[in-house]
Structure 1
Amino acid sequence: MVNIQKFAAHRHWPWLLAVGLAALVYANTLNNGFTYDDTPIIVNNPTIRSLADVPRLFLAGYWDHRQAGLSNYRPLFTFTLAVDYALWGLRPVGYHLTNLLLHAANTAWVWWLLRCYRAAPWLALLAALVFAVHPVHTEAVANVVGRAELLGMCFGGLMWWSWVQARRDTERAGWWRALAAVGYLAAMLSKENMVVLPAALWLAEVLRARHRLWRVGWSGWWATTRPFFWLVIPWLPYTGLRLVSQQGFQPTGVLSGNPMYAQTLWERLVTMAGVSLEWYRLVFLGFPLKPWYDAHNLVLTPVWSWRTVVGGLLAAGLVAGAVAAARRFPLLTFAVGFWFITLALVSNVVVPIWTAVGERWLYVPSVAYAIAVSWALVRLGGWTGRQPAAAWRVSVSVGLALVLFISYAYGTSRRNLDWQHDRRLFSRFLETDPQHPLPYTLLAQACQTTDPAQARAYYEQALARAPDFFLALLGLAQLDLREGRIEAAQATLARMVAGKPPEVVPTDADWGLVHALYARTLALHGDTTRALEQIAEARRYGPRDSPTLTSCAIAYVTLGQPAEAETLLREALNMGVDTPTIRFNLGAVLLRQGRPDEAERHFEAALRLDPAFAPARLARDKLRPAGTP
């Protein structure tokens, strides 16, 4: 035991162990592909194709290439994707490696944070190990776009470290606090919810100096708080950049799946009291995990139930316990405060956001759980006193810790494999949530070209659970159109266009695709005037969306206007929308116009972007004489 205690107290070995374990548990993500939101944010995102366009990333919202009004502003995160694209193209391994390294760095930061505030060596090591392997982190680490959380925490760690250095190096305190301000700005530019980190830092500094503050009174509180005005400075460039990029501080438009948008503050408090039990389940158990939470699998209405009462009592109990523990157990007070502070902006209480719960949002708050459970294990094992604890206490504590680590590490490594590709992820979603229409819809999309009969069955199952489910209706219309069921597709799309909510505003790529597909059905019926009107609407809603622009080009060709189709596709390439489908369709248009050499070049370009893109390979091979390599 003495040797193990010396190991935990070592300056470097404990955090190296935690970092190594984090890397080991997430090593199997390096074989994963692009999954779920990786497709629109990386694969079909023209804004990350050139480092020369990096300045533009700071003048646009995160989703602006697909949908405006979400108020997501993460230019620094998107910049890292542009760097990855410059290094790796669309090879996923490099992107996943970046995520793994960031998670390892954040694991080391958890250990440093606790040691910096003089937590027991055992406690710091256990907390870092829990954080390293917790299953709830898989969405943030295994899904490339979860990097926003990783990057935000990493820069938040820079802010925190610089602030502590300022306290220790008073001669250069100003320089260190300036660096802390830079770190804070970078954290906010990585993910919006990192704006709350200074509040957690302030709580840590107050608890560290609590005895002096209670002794000297308000002057001590002011002396501790006054330097935090340094962290107000980053709000000037941050607010300015958001205004210039036309990103507000509150989402607008359709907040799909979140009825809390229409609720009062009190109603949201009641609703989230019940929903909060989902947070606690995720951090305690880490199972089952789902990629999406909304009104189909959560109760998002302000009704009093046992869940509401238990959730409210649990929150109140945590706050009361934190206040009571402030003198003797400040680390527990900090853990509870950190939990509520870092969840504040994503809780839907302050302001409603796009959805109710996101596993990735728990990446930073889970530090609080790691601290609390490690504190409990250390106290149980009696590792805080100078005298050796009873053997049974040590044995129970070590046994529980091993069960915790092994179960978490196993769950994480298994969950990482679910993020290998869309079909596997959505199949697992269906297993855990068979009444939700989304997994059926996403599975249908994943197999729409390879197994259309199965895709149709999935769409029908989704609509049986939610007859007006937008994505299922859109996907089914695409499938009908592909299979020549023009009347059925047109009826569905006409109904969707007629029922479009008035709050939908451009840009919205999904609605762009609705209008583009509707234009194709009208073109097939020879209704030129209405088809052109729908093309114009489609281009307004999806000006840089590859599926929308491709469908518009097909509609132009159907109308006998191949020159307009060529112009549209070339404009897409000029805007950076360079995808296999855009290249293939441009090649097909050029071939129709009797320009086979130009067509072949674009088929080749499509294959360079995606060597497995079968339509481009077939078209290219038809143009080549027999025996040509």
Structure 2
Amino acid sequence: MVNIQKFAAYRHWPWLLAVGLAGLVYANTLGNGFTYDDTPIIVNNPTIRSLADVPRLFLAGYWDHQQDGGNNYRPLLVTTLAVDYALWGLRPVGYHLTNLILHAANTVWVWWLLRCYHAAPWLALLAALVFAVHPVHTEAVANVVGRAELLGMCFGGLMWWGWVQARWDTERAGWWRALAAAGYLAAMLSKENMVVLPAALWLAEVLRARHRLWRAGWPAWWATTRPFFWLVIPWLPYAGLRLVSQQGFQPTGALSGNPMYAQTLWERLVTMAGVSLEWYRLVFLGFPLKPWYDAHNLALTPVWSWRTGLGGLVTLGLVVGAVAAVRRFPLLTFAVGFWFITLALVSNIIAPLWTPLGERWLYVPSVAYAIAVAWVLVRLGGMTSQQPAAAWRVGVSVGMALVLFIGYAYGTSRRNLDWQSDWRLFTRFLETDPQHPLPYTSLAHAWQTTDPAQARAYYEQALARVPNFFLALLGLAQLDLREGRIEAAHARLGQMVAAKPPEVVPTDADWGLVHALYARTLALQGDTAHALEQIAEARRYGPRDAPTLTSCAIAYVNLGQPAEAESLLREALDLGVDTPTIRFNLGAVLLRQGRTDEAERHFEAALRLDPDFAPARLALDRLRPADTP
């Protein structure tokens, strides 16, 4: 026991051990590809192709390259993706390495946080190790765009560090608090939900000085709180940038099909009481994990049931316990407070979001769980004093810690591989949630070009579960077009356009693709006037969406208007929509016009953007036939 305590008290070895464990558990993500939202945000995102365009990233929304709306503003995250692209192109390994480094840095921050507030060395080490290996972090770390959480927490850690340094170095307190304010601004520019971090910092500072505050009363409370006005300053540039970039502060839950949008505050409290059981399950057990949570796999109605009752009781118990622990166990009070503060904006209670729950949202709040588990293990092992504890207690505590670490590490390393590709991710999703239509649709997307019959079967299984599932209908229409079933595609797309809701929905780019595909069917049927109308509508919904613009160009070609197709694709390049599909289709249009040299240059450009882009490689092989004997 003495040796363990001495080891934990060393200045460097504990956090180096935590970093090493984090690196070991997530090392297998370096072989993963781009998965899920990585495709639209990285692969099909022209805004990250040049570092010269970085200033523009601060004047646009997160999804503006593909659609309007969403009110997501994360320019610092997208800037790091632009840096990765400059270093690695579209080779995923570099992006995953950046995520791994950020997770390791956040693991160190957990250790430092506890040590700077005088938590026992052994407790700080255990908490950092739990945080390093917890399976619920896999979406944030293994999915590249999950970096928003990693980066936000990293800059939030910088804010916290600057604040503590100001307390220690009073002569330069102003400079340190300015650094803290800069860190806070960077955290908000990485992910919106980081705006709550000063509340968690304030709670930590109040608990640290609780005895003095209780004795001195209001003047001491004001003296502790007054410096936090430094953290109001970053809101001036943050709000200004959001307004200039036309990103508001109201979530677009009204347009996303989220049933909680129409609920009152009390109804959302009841609904989320039931959903909170998923929070607790994910953070305690870490399995099963799913890439998507919505009304198909969660009850999102404000109806009292055993789930809402139990979830409400657990939540109430945590709050009551936190209040009761203030005097004797302030660390537990901080953990519970940190949990609810960092979940506040994504809880759907203050405002309904697009989705009711996301595993990535638990990345920062899970710090609270790591602290609580470490506290329990330390108390169980009798490691709360300088006196050696009974050997059996230490043995039980260490044994439980090892079982926990091994179980979490195994679950994390295995889940990392699920994020290797869309096919693996949604195959696992199908196993854990066979009644949800999304895994069938996503697997169908993966099979479209290699096994159309299997893709069609998956689409039909998705529609058997939800007959009007938008993505499955869209995928079937694409498959019909690819297989030459023009009448079937025309009928399906016509029904979708007729049933389109009157409001502008967050999935603008998908609706742009619907109109573009419909234009192709109309063009193939010789209905020029209506085809041109649909092209115009498609370009209105997806003005910078590569699949939409590509389908519009194909519709122009089908109408016998290659010059218009060329003009559209060149206009896309002028707008910065420089993707392999745009380059390839421009090359194909030029090749149809007999402009072989120009076409070849665009096929080569497509391969420079993505060396594995097979259509461009095949086109070049046809233009450059191998010498025969």
Q: Does residue 1:593 correspond to 2:607, yes or no?
A: no
The Cα of 1:607 is off from its aligned counterpart by: 2.4
The Cα of 1:465 is off from its aligned counterpart by: 0.3
Query: Is contact 2:253-2:352 (8 Å) kept?
Result: no
Aligned residue number for residue 291 of structure 1: 291
Tell me the distance in 1 between the aligned counterparts of 2:256 and 2:503. Answer: 11
Aligned residue number for residue 413 of structure 1: 413
Aligned residue number for residue 9 of structure 2: 9
Q: Which moved more, 1:379-388 or 1:523-532?
A: 379-388
Aligned residue number for residue 20 of structure 1: 20
Q: Deviations over 1:254-297 (max 9, x none)?
A: 54352111111111000000000000000000000000000000
Q: Deviations over 1:581-627 (max 9, x none)?
A: 21221111111111111112222222222333332222222222541
Relative to structure 1, is the Cα distance of residues 255 and 10 closer, same or farther in structure 2, using a 3 angstrom cutoff?
A: farther
Q: Does residue 1:303 correspond to 2:280, yes or no?
A: no
Write out aligned runs for 1:350-361 (5 A): 350-361=350-361
Tell me the distance in 1 between the aligned counterparts of 2:140 and 2:615. Answer: 34
Write out aligned runs for 1:31-430 (5 A): 31-252=31-252, 255-430=255-430
SS at structure 1 position matched to 2:583: helix
Write out aligned runs for 1:439-478 (5 A): 439-478=439-478
Q: Which moved more, 1:504-513 or 1:492-501?
A: 504-513
Write out aligned runs for 1:515-526 (5 A): 515-526=515-526
Q: Deviations over 1:500-519 (max 9, x none)?
A: 11222588110000000000
Q: Does residue 1:561 correspond to 2:567, yes or no?
A: no
Write the letter of the residue equivalent to 2:265. L
Tell me the distance in 2 between the aligned counterparts of 1:77 and 1:358. Answer: 18
Aligned residue number for residue 602 of structure 2: 602
The Cα of 1:332 is off from its aligned counterpart by: 0.1
Write the letter of the residue equivalent to 2:296. H
Q: Deviations over 1:530-575 (max 9, x none)?
A: 0000000101111111110110000000000000000111111122
SS at structure 2 position matched to 1:346: coil
Aligned residue number for residue 511 of structure 2: 511
SS at structure 1 position matched to 2:249: coil
Query: Is contact 2:255-2:503 (8 Å) kept?
Result: no
Q: Deviations over 1:343-375 (max 9, x none)?
A: 000000000111000000000000000000100
Tell me the distance in 1 between the aligned counterparts of 2:251 and 2:67. Answer: 11
Write the letter of the residue equivalent to 1:577. V
Aligned residue number for residue 533 of structure 1: 533
In the alignment, structure 1 segments of 5+ residues that lack a partner are none
In the alignment, structure 2 segments of 5+ residues that lack a partner are none
Tell me the distance in 1 between the aligned counterparts of 2:105 and 2:273. Answer: 33
Relative to structure 1, is the Cα distance of residues 627 and 342 closer, same or farther in structure 2, using a 3 angstrom cutoff?
A: same
TM-score (norm 1): 0.99
Relative to structure 1, is the Cα distance of residues 331 and 396 closer, same or farther in structure 2, using a 3 angstrom cutoff?
A: same
Q: Which moved more, 1:386-395 or 1:564-573?
A: 386-395
Aligned residue number for residue 612 of structure 2: 612
Q: Deviations over 1:154-200 (max 9, x none)?
A: 00000000000001111111111011000000000000000000000
Aligned residue number for residue 580 of structure 2: 580
Q: Which moved more, 1:391-400 or 1:123-132?
A: 391-400
Aligned residue number for residue 433 of structure 1: 433
Aligned residue number for residue 485 of structure 1: 485
Tell me the distance in 1 between the aligned counterparts of 2:128 and 2:551. Answer: 50
Query: Is contact 1:297-1:436 (8 Å) kept?
Result: yes
Query: Is contact 1:254-1:504 (8 Å) kept?
Result: no
Write the letter of the residue equivalent to 1:513. L
Write the letter of the residue equivalent to 2:12. H
Query: Is contact 1:257-1:295 (8 Å) kept?
Result: no
The Cα of 1:64 is off from its aligned counterpart by: 1.1
Q: Deviations over 1:4-24 (max 9, x none)?
A: 110001111101100111011
SS at structure 2 position matched to 1:445: helix
Tell me the distance in 2 between the aligned counterparts of 1:252 and 1:32. Answer: 32
Write the letter of the residue equivalent to 2:624. R
Tell me the distance in 2 between the aligned counterparts of 1:280 and 1:120. Answer: 26
The Cα of 1:3 is off from its aligned counterpart by: 1.4
SS at structure 2 position matched to 1:300: coil
Identity %: 89
The Cα of 1:628 is off from its aligned counterpart by: 9.0
SS at structure 1 position matched to 2:589: helix
SS at structure 2 position matched to 1:26: helix
